[in-house]
């Protein structure tokens, strides 16, 4: 597996094995960034943007392997937001009850129509809320990434050359990772 090719190039095809390896690397890097954002400084959030490009490359090439356009990654992205939001809502009361209490206070202000007070409260509690909910955030991220990774890995590969290139099985090339 050529890491530069898998993580930084949107062109070509990759099979399930390289897809899984790339996704594991990206998931680990994203976890580290999310923990740094919550526990060290929100400024680390800027590191998420290059990782998003790498996610597009990995999923796009996996979609290419099945003969599909990389634009279908937008469906994976929409699925990520739905699954992540659902997982966070389910896990928050169990893993981060203090963070849930903070959110409820913020929502009360917003529901009472005190929007400026709600925005001020949100700005004031944001760093503490991030620290309190880091376990929920990481758990929801891992569950969601795992589910979408499983779907991506299970996509059928096109056994012949398609518009995106030759088959990804690497026929005739040694695989030093097997």
The 10 Å Cβ neighbour count of residue 149 is 21
**pLDDT tens-place string over residues 32-76:** 999 999 999 889 999 999 999 999 999 999 999 999 999 999 999
| Residue 48 counted as domain residue | yes
- Domains held by the chain: number: 1
Instruction: Please indicate, yes or no, if residue 108 is contained in any of the structural domains.
Output: no
This prediction's pTM = 0.84
Q: Is residue 119 part of a domain?
A: no
Would you say residue 12 lies in a domain?
yes
Which segments of the chain does DSSP mark as H helices, in order? 3-8, 16-39, 48-65, 73-95, 97-111, 115-132, 134-154
């Amino acid at each position: 597996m050529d890491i530069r090719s898998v993580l930084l190039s949107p062109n070509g095809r990759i099979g399930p094995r390289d897809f899984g390896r790339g996704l594991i690397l990206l998931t680990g890097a994203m976890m580290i960034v999310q923990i740094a954002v919550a526990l060290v400084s929100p400024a680390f959030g800027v590191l998420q943007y290059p990782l998003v490009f790498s996610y597009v490359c990995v999923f796009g090439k996996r979609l290419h392997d099945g003969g599909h356009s990389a634009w279908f990654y937008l469906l994976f992205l929409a699925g990520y937001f739905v699954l992540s939001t659902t997982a966070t809502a389910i896990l928050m009361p169990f893993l981060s009850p203090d963070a849930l209490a903070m959110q409820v206070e913020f929502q009360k202000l917003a529901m009472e129509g005190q929007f400026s007070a709600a925005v001020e409260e949100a700005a004031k509690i944001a760093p503490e809320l991030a620290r309190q909910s880091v376990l929920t955030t990481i758990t929801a991220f891992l569950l969601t990434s795992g589910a979408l990774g499983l779907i991506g890995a299970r996509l059928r590969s096109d056994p012949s050359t398609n518009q995106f290139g030759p088959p990804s099985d690497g026929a005739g090339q040694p695989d030093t990772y097997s």
